[in-house]
Each structure stands twice: as C-alpha cells, then as structure tokens.
Amino acid sequence: MHVLTAAEMQACDRATTERFGVASIDLMRAAAGAVAAFARAQFPRARRVTVLCGRGNNGGDGMMAARLLGQAGPAGAGLDVTTLLLGAPEGFSTDVVTAWGELLAAAAPGSVHVVETAEQLAAHAEALKADLIVDGVVGTGFKPPLKGLALAAWEWVKGSGAQVLAVDLPSGWGADATAASAAGSVLQPANKDLSAGAPVFPADAVITFTAPKPAHVFGQLTRRWDQPVVVTPIGSPEEAIVSKLGVDWAGSALDLVRTPRAWGANKGSFGHVLVVGGTFGAAGGRAGAPTMAALAALRSGAGLVTAAVPAPALAVVAAVAPELMTWPLAATAAGAISAESLTPEALTALLAGKTVLAIGPGIGQAAETVKFVTGLLAATKIPAVIDADALNILAAKPVLLAKLARRGERTMVLTPHPGEMARLAGITVAEVQANRLKVARGFAEKFGVTLVLKGARTLIAHPDGRVAVNTTGNPGMAKGGSGDLLTGLVAGLLAQFSADAARAVEAAVCLHGLAADLAVRGPEANQDEHTLLATDSLRQFSRAFRFDSRGENGYVWLQGALHRAAPDEVRG
C-alpha cells in the first residue's frame, strides 16, 4: 500500500473523477458511510454524538456522517446527533452544498447549529457532554497551525471527556508531517495530551480514505499506541493511486507469509539459517542472544537452523530446543569467538548447506572476534543479516562495508538501532532521529543494502530508494532480546522467500511488532508493556502469522487492530 502526500491524494481524487468517471459526490458519500459505520462499530456504547464540521470537504464528510448516524442503524434507532458547523454556511464546494442540504432536510429540529464565533461555540457546552465527538474540522489539505474558529474548537474540545473519532486526520496535523518535519510541533509522545507544541485535536481513533498519508504512518496520531488508525477504500481504482514519494506500508507484505506451502515440500524447501554469535564466561554471558535469534528463525518457518557459538556456550544453547542444531566455534580463553575458525576447512564445514547467515547477536568486539566476523563476511556470498556488535565492527571498517556491498551478489540486511545507525553513518544519534527517513534511505542507496532502522515506526530502506514504514509494535519491546528476535525472524523469512527478499524483510519487521502487540493486547495476552519479555513475543508468533490486518468493509488497520469490534478475527 503506497503512502501518498497531500498533493498526491488530491491528484488521486481528481483522476478518480476525471479519468475513471467516479463522481466526487459519490466519493464523499462513500467516505461518510465508512465514518458512520466505523463510529458505530468502534464506539458501540456511544448514544450522544457531536459532529464538528469545517466548511471544506472534510466538513462535508462530517455532515453526511452526521445524517447517517442520526438514522436507524443495525441496532435499530438512530443516535442522538448534534452537528456544529464552524463558520457561515457559504462558499461551500458543490459537494458540500449537497451534504449541507441533505443534513438540514434530515436532522432533528434544533440539532444543527451554525457557530461563527468562539463565544457562540462556548454557548454549546451541552454538546461537550457527548459520548463521542467526530472531528471533521479540517482534513488532508490543511496546513498547520490551527487558527481562528478551528483553534477555538480545539480549546473547546479539550474541555470534554468524550472520545474523539478523527475524520481523515486529527485536526491540526499536516498530512505530510513526518517525524522530522513534525519534531517540536505536532509529533508528540503517546500521552493523554497531544496538544503540546502546535495545537492538535486529541483522537481515540482515526479513519482515512484510499491510502495513508505520511502523518498516518510516521506520527502518533492517537492518544495511545494501540488505538485504531484505519484506511478504507471509497472507490478510487488502483490505477489512480500513484505516488513518487517512494514510501509504502510494511504491513502490505504480510500476504507473503500467508502463501500456502506446497503439498510436496520438505525441510530443504525452506532454507537453512546459520546464526553466529554469543560469548561465554569472562567475555560476557551472552549466549541467550544467538539462542533467541535461532529460535525466532525456527518459529518463522525456516527448514533448518544452526546456532554457531563459542564452544564453551554450546551446551547452554543446545539445551533450549531439541530442534535447534548447534556448531562449536573455537573460543578464546575468555570465551569469545576466536579467529581460529577462519581456516578454509573450518569455513567450508561451517557454511556447508547454509542459505542465510545471521551474525552479531551477543558476539562482542574482542580482537579475535573482529577478525572472525570480518573474515566470515568476506568469505561467504549467501544472504546475510547483520546485527548488534557485527554492525559496530563494520562501522569501524567502512572500507570493508563498501567492499561487501559493492559485490551486488547477495542480499545484505543491516538492522541497527539509532545508536548503531549513528556509528555506521558517522553522525550523532540526534541527527539520525531528526531525519530517520532521509538517513535510512540515503545509507541503503549508498551501500546497496537493505537497512532496517529500528525504533518507533521502524523503517525498511531498500537499495533502490524505496522505504517501507512499519506501524506495529509497542513500548514494551524496549528491552534486551527484542532485536535478537528480529534478526532471527528476518533471516528465517529470507531463507523461505529469497526470491522476494524486500517483502520478506518487511513482513518480518511487521510480524515482530505484531507478535509483541498480541502479547500485551491480544485475545490471549498475558503480559503488559512493563512485564513483556522478548520470549513472550516469541510465543505469539503463531498468532501473528495468522492475524489479518484487513477488517470488515475493506478496512486496513495501520494501528490498533487488536481493538477492533470483532476480536475473533484473530483466526485459529
């Protein structure tokens, strides 16, 4: 699913009407119908609804939705709807004229009010007592900040305890806002007040149309990470959805892992992952890191997985799962991997039959280990997933990284967190975080690698300049071991889907976050954001692989799918 800028979304709407013959009023009717249906489904206890409408097309969506909410719904009687138009009912587009006329004709007496001043708005304190407020003030074409009556409406809404459903975007957000352009203004942490900086309406759910905009995938639009942000189709054909932004939603790649396996498949059909890492004894007790990566590769569906660790750690790793194969590597006296394993005979035996290499978890940076890591990477041409200290080793050897990447003979996936990314790129962490999209894309293009820049809204940047944004995951993942699971999951999917490496990596990142979400919010959740461990997420892999982010009425859930009205859609 492409991410569209505001200008591209407007071009899509024009193309839908002018090239494909879909009337703009029909797009508005479809959008309003989706808003009304979503409001009923996600806020089933809401009986009193206040709809705030601006004078643009977003307000027109709100007017039509208000009329539909006031009509009898699936449960019988219509809702008690109050509609406030912010501004004089003049200067409307043709479609909004139609929406306004239909609302006036259908609304209950005294339920529609024209508000032209902040004082008039303050007089409608009773409307603040609603169960649900629908925010249809401004939409995709809005340029921050809020001013005039819209700003007064923001102040007014802050005084309500009602839940808020945003139509298209929470009013105050610019559709093209990313983590960089919004820093210090509308991009806020997940807390109860999203109004710090530039004024932004609070939101408990967001529904947008046709395609997500940058703000939907880069920003925390809702009050919490787990609240719904959905995209719904309204009639634009795929041919009209065109973008030059080069940004996609990572969740689209999940179709890859839902492909049924061939009836006659065997373990050789799904690759052999080699996980290399770990230290033991005086070098540090980090045998758990490669173990978790190997378990994730197993759970992802790889046919075979071998964990190659320092010989003293072998028994610890082997005891974790009988399905896991192990390989002892020569170790230093301190328990780190030694360069003795770099002999041609040793490398030939180690790499025999392996189809993907995952290197770095728990490996350390001892001098002997550095020699081994650089030697192994130079000696093999199989796809490689590079993480943790293996990244730091490459950061200290940029010539080697450039040499490995120039080959163009294999897929190389680097999975840095912001600190590791800063070392790789030779910049500060602050500079990485200030422009994650530009940094990730530029590095991937420069070195010809796939770069997974971890964090809230992990980015997957490909060598051709395309970037996918992941919207799953939660703050409970900010613990040791989470990155090791991701390394194994990426390697496992690469082993199975080597012909579609880009989507395999995107699917792995999305599944990684989704498993953690299921562990703290799913139907069988037994943890919360404080108690979540990486291994708790591992136990949710099966459900994550079967989870469908597409809901009823064609909705695609960018965020908050675990809160949808039908939790039994977590199939199996």
- Beta-bridge mates of residue 469: 249, 459
Six-digit token string for 318 = 């082997």
Please tell me the predicted confidence (pLDDT) of residue 547: 86
Range among 69-83, 172-186, 535-549 rated most confident? 535-549
Q: CA nearest 504: which of 512, 314, 40? A: 512
Point out the least confidently predicted range of 150-159, 342-351, 366-375, 554-563: 554-563
CA distances from 348 to 165, 170, 302, 320, 341 (A): 60, 58, 21, 26, 10
Q: In angstroms, rounded to a whole number, what is the distance separating the alpha carbons of residues 204 and 202? A: 7
Q: In angstroms, rounded to a whole number, what is the distance separating the alpha carbons of residues 417 and 388? A: 9
- What values do phi and psi take at 406, rounded to 5? -65, -20
Contact 463, 452 (CB under 8 A): no
Segment 456-468, tens digit of pLDDT: 999 999 999 999 9
- pLDDT higher than threshold 80 for residue 569: no
Segment 516-530, tens digit of pLDDT: 999 998 777 889 999
Q: What percent of the chain has pLDDT over 70?
A: 93
Q: In what order do the strands lie in the sheet with 112-115?
A: 112-115, 80-86, 48-53, 132-136, 163-167, 205-209, 229-232, 556-559
Please tell me the predicted confidence (pLDDT) of residue 187: 36
| Angle of CA points 555, 557, 560, to nearest 5° | 135
Angle between helices 482-496 and 288-300 (to 10 degrees): 40
Contact 377, 384 (CB under 8 A): yes
How sure is the predictor about 564, in pLDDT bands with cuts at 50, 70 and 90?
low
Please tell me the predicted confidence (pLDDT) of residue 159: 84
Cis before residue 228, ω within 30 degrees of 0? no
Mean pLDDT estimate for the chain:
91
CA dihedral 410, 414, 415, 417 (to 10 degrees): -170
Angle between helices 436-447 and 398-406 (to 10 degrees): 60
Q: Domains in the chain, please, with CATH? A: 6-242 (3.40.50.10260), 252-256+271-561 (3.40.1190.20)
CA distances from 330 to 155, 275, 374, 499, 561 (A): 66, 15, 16, 34, 47
Q: CA nearest 28: which of 300, 215, 235? A: 235
Q: In angstroms, rounded to a whole number, what is the distance separating the alpha carbons of residues 416 and 131? A: 44
Please tell me the predicted confidence (pLDDT) of residue 118: 95
More confident residue, 366 or 177: 366
CA distances from 208 to 9, 85, 192, 235 (A): 11, 21, 22, 13
Please tell me the predicted confidence (pLDDT) of residue 285: 76
Please tell me the predicted confidence (pLDDT) of residue 392: 96
Six-digit token string for 240 = 């009209």
Half-sphere exposure of 78 (CA within 13 A, CB side): 15
Q: CA nearest 471: which of 187, 219, 190? A: 219
- pLDDT higher than threshold 70 for residue 191: no
Please tell me the predicted confidence (pLDDT) of residue 178: 75
Tell me if residue 254 falls in helix, strand or coil: helix
- pLDDT higher than threshold 70 for residue 313: yes
- pLDDT higher than threshold 50 for residue 571: no
Q: For the full predicted model, state whether its pTM sits above 0.85.
A: yes
Segment 202-248, tens digit of pLDDT: 999 999 999 999 999 998 899 998 999 999 999 999 999 999 999 99
User: How confident is the model over 327-355, as a mean pLDDT?
Assistant: 95
Please tell me the predicted confidence (pLDDT) of residue 334: 93
Count how many residues are written for the chain: 572
DSSP assignment of 132-157, as one string?
EEEEES--TT--SSP-HHHHHHHHHH
- pLDDT higher than threshold 60 for residue 568: no
Please tell me the predicted confidence (pLDDT) of residue 425: 95
Contact 478, 532 (CB under 8 A): no
Please tell me the predicted confidence (pLDDT) of residue 550: 75
Please tell me the predicted confidence (pLDDT) of residue 283: 66
Segment 167-186, tens digit of pLDDT: 999 999 999 987 433 332 33
Segment 404-441, tens digit of pLDDT: 876 556 899 999 999 999 999 999 999 999 999 999 99
Run of H or E including 412: strand 412-414
- Rg of the Cα atoms in the chain: 26
CA dihedral 362, 363, 366, 368 (to 10 degrees): 160
Q: How far apart are the first and last CA of the chain?
A: 26
Run of H or E including 120: helix 118-122
